[in-house]
C-alpha cells in the first residue's frame, strides 16, 4: 500500500470520519460499495476505485484504536485520539449544519497514513470485497460473466475472517454458512421471448416488444441474471384483449425451489397507471402475463421483490444506476480476465479463490 494523507472529520452526532485523500464517495447500501463492520465503526471502499485505504466511520474511538493503527498507522491513531468527541457531542447528538463542510462534515485535522500492519490492512479490504461479491457479483449468462462458486466464496470469506479476527465485531466475526451450489448450463438463446413469424405469435399480434435491465438493489442475490437485457416484454393483441408478456432471465444458479415471498414481481407502467403482477419460475426464467385495460405501444417494466431495497421515488441516485451497473459488469469481466494469469499475490487487490476458479471454467460461457 502507498502512503496517503487522510482527513479526520466530524460526522453526525459523535462520529469521527477518516477520509483518505481522493477517496470516492460511498453509499453503504449501494452496489458500488464494499462494507466491513469493525469494532467501534464501519469501513467502506468504492469497489470501482483502486483505493488502498477505506473511509472509516468511527462511533467508538476507544474501541477503534485497537485497529486504527494497523489499518492507517500510528500518526492517524494519535491524531484521532486528539480529536475524540467532546462531551457536548456525546450528550447532545451534535451535527454540523447541512453543507457547512462537505459530505463528511467539518475537517478537524489530517495525518499521513501508512499501515502499521500492511498484511492485515490488505486482508481487511479483501474481506470487504468478498462480502461484496457475495451480494453484488453481476453473474450473467447473457453477458458472459461467470458465477462465483458459492462454496469457494464462503471459503474465501472464512479464511479472510480468520485473518481479520482482531478487527471484527458482530456478525462479520462469524464464518458464513456454506450455501448450496446449483450447476447450470444456461445459454443466452434460452432467454429470448419467442418472436414467432413476422409480428405474430400464434393467433396473437405483437404490438410492441423490448428489453431492459433491472435495479440490482430491488432483489436479493441469486434470483435474476444481472444483464441489462435480462428483462424482455411483448405487448400482444388477441381476441380483443391486450396482454403484456414478461420474461426475466434467471440467475445462472437459481435454486430449484425459491420461497414464494422471495419471488420477484413486475411493476408495469403504460403511462396510464401502474400495474403489478407476480412472476412465476419458468424454464430458466421468471415469467408473467398481465391483461392491460387498454392497448399500449410501450411499457416500462421494473422488477423487484416486494419490501426489498430502497424507496426509488425518494432515491436521488436512481437515474444513474444503469451506468453504474455497466461499470460493475466491466469491472467483474476484467477481474475474471486477470484472475487466471495474475501471479501469486496477497495484496489488497489479489483475486479470490472463487474468482480464480470461475476464470478457469469461463470457457463454458
Q: Pick the range with the lowest mean pLDDT from 103-112, 114-123, 176-185, 191-200.
A: 176-185
At 116, give phi and psi (nearest 5°). Answer: -70, -30
Element (H, E) at 311: none
- pLDDT at position 218: 93
- How far is the C-alpha of 346 from the C-alpha of 226, rounded, in Å? 29
Per the model's pLDDT, the better-predicted residue between 250 and 297 turns out to be 250
- pLDDT at position 84: 83
Q: What is the mean pLDDT of residues 203-224?
A: 90
Sheet holding 241-249, edge to edge: 200-201, 204-212, 231-238, 241-249, 285-292, 280-281
Beta strands 16-20 and 55-58, pairing class: antiparallel
In eight-state DSSP terms, residue 191 is: G
- pLDDT at position 198: 41
At 273, give phi and psi (nearest 5°). Answer: 125, 170
Query: Which pLDDT tens digit goes with each residue over 167-211?
Result: 997 554 444 433 333 333 233 333 334 333 345 555 678 888 899
Give the torsion sign (CA, 46, 221, 229, 338). positive
Mind giving me the DSSP string for 14-64?
Answer: T-EEEEETTPPP--TTSTTEEEEEETTEEEEEETTS--SSPEEEES-HHHH
In eight-state DSSP terms, residue 177 is: P
- How far is the C-alpha of 349 from the C-alpha of 273, rounded, in Å? 47
Is the confidence at residue 77, as pLDDT, over 90? yes
Q: Are 33 and 216 in contact (CB under 8 A)?
A: no
Q: What is the mean pLDDT of residues 99-110?
A: 66
- How far is the C-alpha of 316 from the C-alpha of 314, rounded, in Å? 6
- Beta-bridged to residue 237, according to DSSP, are 205, 242
Mean pLDDT of the chain: 83
- How far is the C-alpha of 291 from the C-alpha of 23, rounded, in Å? 49
- How far is the C-alpha of 220 from the C-alpha of 305, rounded, in Å? 8
Query: What percentage of the chain carries pLDDT values higher than 70?
Result: 79
- How far is the C-alpha of 328 from the C-alpha of 323, rounded, in Å? 9
For 177, the grid coordinates are 454458512
In eight-state DSSP terms, residue 116 is: S
- pLDDT at position 125: 96
Task: Give residue 92's pLDDT band: very low, low, confident or very high (50, 70, 90).
Answer: low
Query: Which pLDDT tens digit goes with each residue over 19-37?
Result: 998 886 666 678 999 999 9
Is the confidence at residue 217, as pLDDT, over 70? yes
Per the model's pLDDT, the better-predicted residue between 293 and 110 turns out to be 110
Task: Give residue 1's pLDDT band: very low, low, confident or very high (50, 70, 90).
Answer: low
At 303, give phi and psi (nearest 5°). Answer: -115, 140
Query: Which pLDDT tens digit goes with each residue over 308-341?
Result: 987 766 565 666 788 999 999 999 999 999 887 7
CA 305 to mean position of chain CA atoms? 16
Task: Give residue 283's pLDDT band: very low, low, confident or very high (50, 70, 90).
Answer: confident
- pLDDT at position 186: 31
Q: Are 270 and 299 in contact (CB under 8 A)?
A: yes
Q: What is the mean pLDDT of residues 94-112?
A: 63
Closest alpha carbon to 351 in 361, 340, 360: 340
- pLDDT at position 174: 45
- Which residues lie below 8 Å from residue 47, measured CB to CB, with a gap of 6+? 32, 33, 34, 129, 132, 136, 328, 331
Helices 353-360 and 321-339, packing angle to 10 deg? 80
- pLDDT at position 27: 64
- Beta-bridged to residue 257, according to DSSP, are none
Is the confidence at residue 87, as pLDDT, over 80? no
Query: What are the distances in angstroms from CA 355 to CA 209, 210, 290?
Result: 36, 33, 40
Whole-model pTM: value is 0.85
Amino acid at each position: 500500500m502507498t502512503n496517503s494523507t487522510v482527513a479526520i472529520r466530524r460526522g453526525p452526532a459523535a462520529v469521527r470520519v477518516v477520509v483518505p485523500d481522493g477517496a470516492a464517495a460511498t453509499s453503504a447500501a449501494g452496489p458500488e460499495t464494499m462494507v466491513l463492520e469493525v469494532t467501534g465503526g464501519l469501513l467502506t471502499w468504492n469497489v470501482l476505485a483502486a483505493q488502498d485505504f477505506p473511509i472509516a466511520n468511527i462511533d467508538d474511538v476507544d474501541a477503534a484504536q485497537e485497529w486504527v493503527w494497523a489499518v492507517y498507522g500510528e500518526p492517524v491513531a494519535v491524531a484521532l485520539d486528539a480529536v475524540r468527541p467532546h462531551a457536548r457531542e456525546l450528550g447532545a447528538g451534535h451535527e454540523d449544519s447541512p453543507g457547512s463542510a462537505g459530505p463528511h462534515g467539518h475537517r478537524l485535522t489530517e495525518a499521513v497514513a501508512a499501515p502499521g500492519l500492511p498484511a492485515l490492512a490488505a486482508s481487511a479490504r479483501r474481506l470487504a470485497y468478498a462480502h461484496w461479491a457475495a451480494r453484488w457479483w453481476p453473474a450473467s449468462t447473457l453477458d458472459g460473466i461467470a458465477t462465483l462458486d458459492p462454496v469457494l466464496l464462503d471459503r474465501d470469506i472464512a479464511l479472510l475472517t480468520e485473518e481479520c479476527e482482531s478487527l471484527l465485531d458482530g456478525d462479520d466475526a462469524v464464518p458464513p454458512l456454506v450455501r448450496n451450489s446449483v450447476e447450470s448450463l444456461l445459454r443466452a438463446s434460452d432467454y429470448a421471448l419467442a418472436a414467432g413469424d413476422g409480428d405474430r405469435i400464434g393467433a396473437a399480434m405483437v404490438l410492441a416488444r423490448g428489453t431492459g435491465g433491472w435495479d440490482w438493489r430491488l432483489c436479493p442475490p441469486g434470483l435474476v441474471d444481472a444483464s441489462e437485457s435480462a428483462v424482455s416484454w411483448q405487448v400482444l393483441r388477441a381476441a380483443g384483449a391486450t396482454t403484456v408478456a414478461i420474461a426475466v432471465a434467471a440467475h445462472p444458479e437459481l435454486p430449484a425451489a425459491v420461497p414464494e415471498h422471495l419471488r420477484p414481481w413486475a411493476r408495469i407502467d403504460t403511462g396510464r397507471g401502474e400495474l403489478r403482477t407476480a412472476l412465476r419460475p419458468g424454464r430458466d426464467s421468471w415469467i408473467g402475463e398481465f391483461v392491460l385495460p387498454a392497448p399500449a405501444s410501450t411499457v416500462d417494466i421494473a422488477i423487484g421483490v416486494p419490501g426489498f431495497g430502497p424507496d426509488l421515488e425518494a432515491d436521488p441516485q436512481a437515474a444513474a444506476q444503469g451506468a453504474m451497473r455497466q461499470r460493475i459488469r466491466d469491472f467483474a469481466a476484467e477481474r475474471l480476465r486477470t484472475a487466471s494469469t495474475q501471479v501469486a499475490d496477497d495484496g489488497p487487490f489479489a483475486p479470490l479463490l472463487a474468482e480464480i476458479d470461475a476464470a478457469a471454467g469461463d470457457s463454458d460461457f
